[in-house]
Structure 1
Amino acid sequence: MKGLILCGGKGTRLRPITDSIPKPLIPIANRPLIFYTIDLLIKSGIKEIGIIVNEKNKELFEKSLNNKFDANFHYIIQKESKGIAHALLQAEEFLDKEKFIMILGDNSFQVDLEKTIDDFITSKSNCKLLLKQVENPERFGVAYIGDDKIINVEEKPKTSFSDLAITGIYGFDHNIFNACREIKPSKRGEYEITDAIRWMIQKGYYVKYEILNGYWKDVGRHQDMVEENIYRLSSMDEDIKGHVENSSISGRVILDESAVIYNSVVRGPIVVGANTTIKNSYIGPYTSIGKRVNIDKANIEASIILDSCYISSVETPIDSSIIGEGSIVSKENGLKKVNRLVTGKNSRIYLK
């Protein structure tokens, strides 16, 4: 069986971070988000993996994944962002006539995927969806069930009469490609996968489901990224290899061998990347700090600090934040107390 991961979207809700890095490559606990999905596929026995990318981010994915996994990656370009069903059609030649698993690149799971796959392969179903009970189904595609199958699906309804969200793991056979060709664009101009699945239901194809009891998160917004970072850090084991001097360390801390901590208080779980220096600071739980970061006189908690950042003399705590690669956050001494900002497009700044 082959796997397909969709990574061709622009990640507009996560701008400006995604102006320079695709959403599935944003580091979560210092590993790109997509790495956890690839781990899941490989663990379930899938090593032929197609990745839907766009023309701008293909090289970034190749560089990030090269020689990192025991798997064969096939990069498939989606030239225009026209929805999941459109992206799926670009992979038809790669997937051929076999049943396959498709996962959205901005979703995160902890699930026994091998069991799910075995059930899909051995069943007579043409499609299998993993569903999850949620409190806010209007945010997602939802499924209506009956007679041990899915009888209808709806994309982000204004009012939902089902609390079963369609998660980002799908099992399909080759009939999904005919479905994708038959549907028309939605009001937002995209070819929706829910429309393709509804077409299959209406044509009498067997669309099966499984209720997911494990972890699932649609990592689409800034707060989702912070929460995902917390989740991943919570399961990491302590591994302090770097240099610690005159500092208080507690909780699970992962410190790269080339990283150093001086005169600081550190409360795990946290992870600190290579060639990073932390001085005279407090680093609180659920913080991931990338490579070549310099932190001096700062208070940081539950945040994601990307590579090559400089954070210095920040009096108020930095909490639940994402600091983009190469950013400078510092206090500037002057005659009057002011906020002086240099920001990129679609930045979000909250001052107190």
Structure 2
Amino acid sequence: MIPCIFSKSDGRILEPLTCSVPVSLITVCGKPVIEYTADILKKSGFSRMIVSTAHKNEAVQDYFSRNPPHKISVGYDTSDISDDETVLLINADTFYSMSFENSFRFHKNKKADMTVITKSVNDCRENRAVFTGNDKKILSFQDNPTYMDCVSSADTGIYIVSARIFRIIENSDGISDILLNRLISEGFSIYANECIGYFRNIDSVKNYIKCQNDVLCGTVTADINGHRTLDGSIIHGSYDLKKASVAEPLCIGNNVSASTGTVIDNLSVIGNNVTIGRNSSVHNSVIMDGAYIGDRVTCTNAVICRNAVLLNSCSVYDGCIIGEEAVVGENTTIRNNAGVWNYKNTGSNKNICFPLRYGHSSEIKINEYGISGETNAVITAHTAVSAGMSLGGRNKSLVIGYAPENNSAYAMALAASGGTMSAGGTVWNIGECLPCEMDFAVRNLCAD
């Protein structure tokens, strides 16, 4: 059996954190996720593993060339997997600590094509639900089930598969419930085996921060880099926090300093070479290497990437990610899971509720008078619905079209149509079209 850390993701998970690194190289308490995985595989007796990620796999190769793992070799060519080999397939965004020995025996005894490692959870709405029969044979899968459809068995993102199944997955768009249900319909024998242990999918800021919390609190058994103190804190080097108010446990990197009046709450993670100014507050957040936090800054349940700058009196709230070398201006507030992409500058005195990806500032105002402000942000379904409602509320007649063979554009068009009609406006939805066709429709339909 050979383990393979696998992902077909294009890197949009946790953007902008994953714009420059794959999810397997983001750190949990100062240590990359893939190193935790390698440690567990070594303890399970494996001497080699394969890494195959669609997004920035070369970054993983570069990392291991500079930091070769001890007692386990790393390969990157899936053609090394022979046709008669069994594969332990691990999603790159799965953070876990569990033993698979019983699952290996279960898979062999059942003569299964695929065994899904499951975990009993209280609420699987954020996971993939696994529906099984009495013999543990899987009947169906469902991603992000509703409360009414919930079961206690969740897919951990770890699978034992035959080489044939692996090739099917490798040539697909990823391990989705659609693919897994298709495999069941095609007659493959797929079983579920529950493991005792810990897992969490790092597919959101909430889950990423929760992984840090669980390592600090000892909820997950993991080998850490650095020194763990008696109160549970993880220390990676020297620091100067004498003037600050600090609650433990937390993770502190090397060469960290904080000025008078600053409060660093427990479960926060502070990287190397971080400077925090006066009277600032860091609560349950991840501050990465080289970041600068100015005076009177509030950072709550957020991720601040490498070398980012938060200037005086700004605030970053729940679910927000500030990208590498981005600058959040003075008196600027960022909330509602908005992110600031790498190298962007928000400008001062802004109130940002949408992701800032393009340009250097973002402030969109949508009201009964229409749309105003700068529109250089990522357009989401919420934005499209709000825009449609604004135009519909002014008794506008709207022509909507979308780019051919673009599912995202189609979804945005539906959202804008729904918003317009809900406010009493008229919609001419011309479907897939080219820009010249859109211009023709607007002129001849006398719409906006």
Instruction: Identify the residue that residue 176 of structure 1 maps to in structure 2.
Output: 165
Change (3 A) 1:180 1:154: same
Q: Which has the higher contact order (CA 8 A, sep 6+)?
A: 1
Q: Is the 8 A contact 1:268 1:284 kept in 2?
A: no
Identity across aligned pairs (percent)? 19
Change (3 A) 1:257 1:140: closer
Instruction: Identify the residue that residue 350 of structure 2 maps to in structure 1.
Output: 339
Distance 2:301 2:176 in 1: 37
Change (3 A) 1:15 1:288: closer
Q: Is the 8 A contact 1:131 1:211 kept in 2?
A: yes
Instruction: Identify the residue that residue 24 of structure 2 maps to in structure 1.
Output: 24
Instruction: Identify the residue that residue 239 of structure 2 maps to in structure 1.
Output: 242
Give the alignment partner of residue 112 of structure 1, picking from 96, 99, 113.
99
Quick check: 1:269 aligned with 2:267? yes
Distance 1:234 1:273 in 2: 18
Quick check: 1:223 aligned with 2:206? yes
Amino acid of the structure 1 residue aligned with 2:88: I
Change (3 A) 1:139 1:268: closer
| Aligned partner of residue 192 in structure 1, secondary structure | helix
- Deviation string for 1:115-174 (max 9, x for gaps)? 434554576444321123456667655433224231423354977867233320101233
Pairing of 1:38-117 with structure 2 (within 5 A)? 38-54=38-54, 57-66=56-65, 67-70=67-70, 71-76=72-77, 91=78, 93-117=80-104
Q: Is the 8 A contact 2:216 2:233 kept in 1?
A: no
Give how far 1:68 is off: 4.5
Change (3 A) 1:149 1:134: same
How many pairs are equivalent? 326
Runs of 5+ in structure 1 lacking a partner? Answer: 77-90
Quick check: 1:131 aligned with 2:142? no
Change (3 A) 1:208 1:270: same
- Deviation string for 1:194-221 (max 9, x for gaps)? 423553xx25x4x432224433322223
Quick check: 1:167 aligned with 2:165? no
Instruction: Identify the residue that residue 14 of structure 2 maps to in structure 1.
Output: 14
Over alpha carbons, which structure has the higher Rg?
2
Distance 2:157 2:176 in 1: 21
Give the alignment partner of residue 232 of structure 1, picking from 207, 215, 218.
215
Q: TM-score, normalised by structure 2?
A: 0.61
Instruction: Identify the residue that residue 277 of structure 2 maps to in structure 1.
Output: 279
Instruction: Identify the residue that residue 403 of structure 2 maps to in structure 1.
Output: none
Q: Is the 8 A contact 1:24 1:106 kept in 2?
A: yes
Compute the RMSD of aligned alpha carbons.
3.8
Distance 1:68 1:304 in 2: 28
Pairing of 1:139-150 with structure 2 (within 5 A)? 141-150=128-137
Distance 1:46 1:249 in 2: 41
Amino acid of the structure 2 residue aligned with 1:339: K
Q: Is the 8 A contact 1:141 1:194 kept in 2?
A: no
Q: TM-score, normalised by structure 1?
A: 0.76
Amino acid of the structure 2 residue aligned with 1:15: E
Give how far 1:285 is off: 4.2
Runs of 5+ in structure 2 lacking a partner? Answer: 219-227, 333-347, 359-376, 381-448
Pairing of 1:188-207 with structure 2 (within 5 A)? 192-199=179-186, 202=187, 205=189, 207=190
Instruction: Identify the residue that residue 2 of structure 1 maps to in structure 2.
Output: 2
